[in-house]
Amino acid sequence: MLDEGETGLPPEASPLKHLLNMDPPQHGEYRSILSQYFTPRSIRALEPEVANITAKLLDELMDREQCDFVTEISSKIPVAVIAEMLGVPRQDWPKLFRWTNEIIGGGDPEFQSGKDSMETFAQARMEVFQYFTDLVEQRRKHPTGDVTSIIANAEIDGAPIPALELLSYLLVLVVAGNETTRNATSGGLLALLENPEQFRRLKSDPTLIKSAVEEIVRWTSPVIQFARTAASDTVVHGQKIRAGESVCLFYPSASRDEDVFEEPFKFDIGRNPNPHLSFGIGEHFCLGSNLARLELGVIFKELAKRLEFAKLAGPVERLRSSFVGGIKHMPIRYKLKPAC
């Protein structure tokens, strides 16, 4: 989840220099640094670890009847995965979680540490930069196989990556690596609870996991909107767009286009075909889409297998944001069975 359709970085992040706001050929040069790391084959190697993280979390909740699905399950899995990939020590994982909330949710009073969203974002960005400046220095002296080592020791045009671009790259990974997968997981379970026939269908037919993941991503569209600048004059459905004008892309709308989807407002885990645009399209197609699909597949496979009963136990609290379709609290009553 690392690019246009998946990041969740707020508009005030635009002064940063990262994949989202780079044009060719620079975009391709920076994207290629990690492109091999996020191939389907490379990502498949992470499946046992993702499955282990998920199983342990569910095991810890076995003896309870109620939890906040967001804070106790859906937020913990992706942050653990991206932290492992970045080589962040376990004791620092809560920092990644807090920074992500403040960068994405700075406009929400619950996560606002500064006087407003801009100040909250600026403070969190500075902390991320300071943290990874130290980690990058360590990895340049003693490189390992983690993603931070790869970026820290990469070169562009024969020279090390400039500091701003390097730290921006890592900040995007921190945010994109957990924020949007968290919200797709939370929104996906909510959709299944609101459409219990679809949950029963998934539990009875595990072969639907892949199509269920695509439908969850379509349905939740974790990133609500993104802005791009038109490179040339064009016309879209009769609307003239001139070169240099900003165009706002609304992903939930695109993924419910009546001209593309049959019954677009129906949640259907067997939907096929499902050409949603939640991972973006073209040059900026989400670099981390394979990781997102893997994580969601593992999570919902385990939930379908082990969740005998679940229902909402209180109101769903959504993140106050026009940018990310986030759920910050979702209390559920449930019954889990042991892992097979």
178-212 confidence digits (pLDDT tens):
888 999 999 999 999 999 999 999 999 999 999 99
Residue span of the structural domain in which 87 resides: 11-333
d(CA 255, CA 161): 36
DSSP3 helix / strand / coil % (the chain, rounded to 5) = 55, 10, 35
User: Does residue 320 form part of some domain?
Assistant: yes
What's the chain's average pLDDT?
91
Asked whether residue 6 carries a pLDDT value surpassing 50, the answer given is no
User: Does residue 2 form part of some domain?
Assistant: no
The pLDDT tens digits for 129-168 are 999 999 999 999 999 989 999 999 999 999 999 999 999 9
Mean pLDDT of 289-299: 96
Nearest to 219 by CA among 103, 327, 83: 327
* pLDDT score at 284: 85
Question: Helix 76-86 crosses helix 289-306 at what angle (to 10 degrees)?
Answer: 140
User: Does residue 5 form part of some domain?
Assistant: no
Asked whether residue 213 carries a pLDDT value surpassing 70, the answer given is yes
User: Does residue 3 form part of some domain?
Assistant: no
Name 239's Cβ contacts closer than 8 Å, sequence gap at least 6.
none
DSSP annotation of 283 = G
Nearest to 111 by CA among 278, 326, 271: 326
User: Does residue 339 form part of some domain?
Assistant: no
Percent of the chain's residues with pLDDT above 70: 96
Domain count, the chain: 1
* pLDDT score at 278: 93
- Extract the runs of DSSP E, i.e. beta strands, from the chain: 66-68, 155-156, 159-160, 225-229, 234-236, 239-241, 246-250, 307-312, 317-318, 327-329, 331-336
For position 156, which CATH number holds? Answer: 1.10.630.10
User: Does residue 1 form part of some domain?
Assistant: no
